[in-house]
């Protein structure tokens, strides 16, 4: 029995399947990047909407002149501020990941750093030196 034609056909099919799998991996990578961009845009739009809604109405005499900055909706932000309330020094993203037991993987630390930077932009935290954060002092 001559198996060569069958083995050649299997090798061809295997190469085609491998090429298709590689194409799908590339599509997944591209779609993942597009998803990250869309999620960031959505977060920026939410922040913009909240910021605009928080602006005092200059025509309304009942409008408070200065309201405290609003926290983002996600409960992690309150947990972060709670951790700062017990800290006696500026904290780094890594310190908060450890204190909040979120995991010490690089993606967790970077996610925490992003949250801290977001709180800095809102005027809730300050970054005294690069990477070290503390609450805004009145």
Instruction: Say which range, 13-17, 18-22, 69-73, 113-117, has the weakest mean pLDDT.
Output: 69-73
Rounded to the nearest angstrom, the gap between the alpha carbon of residue 90 and the centroid of all alpha carbons in its chain is 21
Query: CATH topology for 76-135?
Result: Arc Repressor Mutant, subunit A (1.10.10)
Q: Is the pLDDT of residue 109 over 80?
A: yes
Main-chain phi, psi angles of 132, to 5 degrees: -115, 125
Q: What values do phi and psi take at 128, rounded to 5? A: -65, -50
User: Does the predicted TM-score (pTM) go above 0.75?
Assistant: no
pLDDT digit string (tens) for 68-104?
Answer: 677 777 788 889 999 988 888 999 999 999 999 999 9
Task: Give the pLDDT score at 95.
Answer: 93
Domain spans of the chain, in order of start? 1-52, 76-135
């Amino acid at each position: 029995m001559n198996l060569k034609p069958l083995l050649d056909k299997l090798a061809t099919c295997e190469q085609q399947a491998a090429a298709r799998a590689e194409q799908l991996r590339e599509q997944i990578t591209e779609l993942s990047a597009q998803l990250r961009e869309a999620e960031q845009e959505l977060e920026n739009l939410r922040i913009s909407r909240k910021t605009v809604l928080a602006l005092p109405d200059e025509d309304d005499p009942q409008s408070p002149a200065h309201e405290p900055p609003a926290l983002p909706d996600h409960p992690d932000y309150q947990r972060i501020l709670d951790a700062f309330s017990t800290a006696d020094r500026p904290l780094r993203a890594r310190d908060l990941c450890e204190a909040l037991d979120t995991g010490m993987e690089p993606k967790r630390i970077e996610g925490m750093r992003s949250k801290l930077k977001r709180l800095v932009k809102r005027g809730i935290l300050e970054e005294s030196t690069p990477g070290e954060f503390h609450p805004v002092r009145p």
